[in-house]
Chain A
Amino acid sequence: MPPNPGAWLVTTARNRAIDRIRRERVLAGKIQLLPTPEAVMDEFDDTVIKDERLELIFTCCHPALALDGQVALTLRALGGLETADIARAFLVSEETMKRRLTRAKTKIKATGIPFAVPDAHLLPDRLDAVLAVIYLIYNEGYSGRIDLGSEAIRLGRVLATLMPDEPEVHGLLALMMIHQARQRARFSGEDLVLLADQDRSLWDHAQIAAGRAALDRAFALGGRGAYVIQAAIASLQAAEQIDWPQVAGLYQRLADLTGSPVVELNHAVAIAQAGDPAAGLLAVDRLDLDGYLYFHSTRAELLRRLGRDSEAAAAYHRALELATTTPERRFLSRRLEEL
């Protein structure tokens, strides 16, 4: 069985976002920041009251702020997490996180970033930025370091309450809930467990139902955006019998929407799962993703299924070279031994 396509998408979105954060982190490290009076932070915290949560979300996720600052500020201001918790979640010192928060707050104040819900003509872009931050927080949690996943879902719920008519908000909430519901089944000890091998009794079925309800709401609102489609895919993959042709169709729409080669890769997997591994492999081989772990692990799985074992072994070796986490390495080594 090939690895869980949904997880690939999530992993990629996460890696892309983390890469961007890392780049900004390096840049920030090069800039000597002047110490900022504590008063700036306190003033900002004190101006916030519960009824202004929506304004606060849009301020925290303003694109003029560095992405890592947006994430930290959102967790601090809306998640109510302590600075030390956020620092732990992102594997940086509390001092670094404190500076990051201060820098973001100082910029809000100094540059006049408005404390307001954006005007209608700005709203679509700005809402995208908010959803991206929440999804990034979720994906940090999905990697299993600390439970930011639940925090992101809580934020998603808050946003869905505050903006009940935005389909993508419900789509993102649905996506996060359905993924989260399978979290406990994704690992057996240290080992990754693929979708097809997961113990479904470990799934949180109430959470899946709640996610599907959010997805229905998104559909009812006419939602056809990237989060809605990803949630629809996650929902199909949580079914007793996975309708792979339909999953493939959804990945095709997502690929058309995003132009992402990683989505194309998932599309290829769905084609293979729908019964045509040769067509899947053809689609995979058209992609330019040589530095990407899941490109090689997917090729390996498809080659193995087509009985081309020596080519499969070569692809597994290439994937192993690119694997960074212990569960991934163990998984690939096991596959290689089984050939």
Chain B
Amino acid sequence: MQYALMIYTEPGYHEALPEAERQAVRAEFLALADDARCVAHVQLQPVETATSVRLASGRMLMTDGPFADTKEVLGGVYVVEAANLDEAMELAARIPAIRLGGVVEVRPVVAP
């Protein structure tokens, strides 16, 4: 089955790293993307670029910023194919954001 690995991090965590470490982290992200079990992956632009849209009094209301005001923000998503949750968790554990203070939320994807 497929699982979405949603990566939440503090804004700027990656930029704050020394150059060598930053490259190492990037390589780890790319290695996971290259894994045969990875079916899709997206990296999002920084949270400053977010615009939220909702319906208010029958009109589309646009607001600057993410929908929830949290310390960690969604930074990217992998979709992986795994036999079960344990295998999905092992893939999730390879995401370098975790050791840099981030959190990865793992959710099964609804089968088409």
Contact = CB atoms under 8 A, between A and B. Distances in A.
A6 interface: no
Interface string A74-111: 00000000000000000000000000000000000011
Interface stretch (A112-120, A147-155, A203-211): A112-120
Nearest to B107: A111
Interface size class of A (residues with CB under 8 A): 10 to 19
Contacts of A62: 85
Nearest to B90: A122
B1 interface: yes
A314 interface: no
Interface residues of B, number: 12
B108 A113 contact: no
Contacts of A64: 85, 89
Interface string A105-145: 00000111110101100100000000000000000000000
B48 interface: no
A116 B106 CA distance: 20
Interface in B57-103: 82-86, 88-89
Interface in B1-55: 1, 3
A110 B111 CA distance: 11
B82 to A, nearest CB: 8
A111 B86 contact: no
Contacts of B107: 111
Nearest to A58: B86
B96 to A, nearest CB: 20
A64 B85 CA distance: 9
B86 A114 contact: yes
A201 to B, nearest CB: 50
A119 B84 CA distance: 13
Interface of B: 1, 3, 82-86, 88-89, 106-108
Interface of A: 62, 64, 110-114, 116, 118-119, 122
Given A112-B84, A118-B86, 6 more contacts: A110-B108, A111-B85, A112-B83, A112-B108, A113-B85, A114-B86
16 contacts: A62-B85, A110-B108, A111-B106, A112-B82, A112-B84, A112-B85, A112-B88, A113-B84, A113-B85, A113-B86, A114-B83, A114-B84, A114-B85, A114-B86, A116-B84, A119-B86
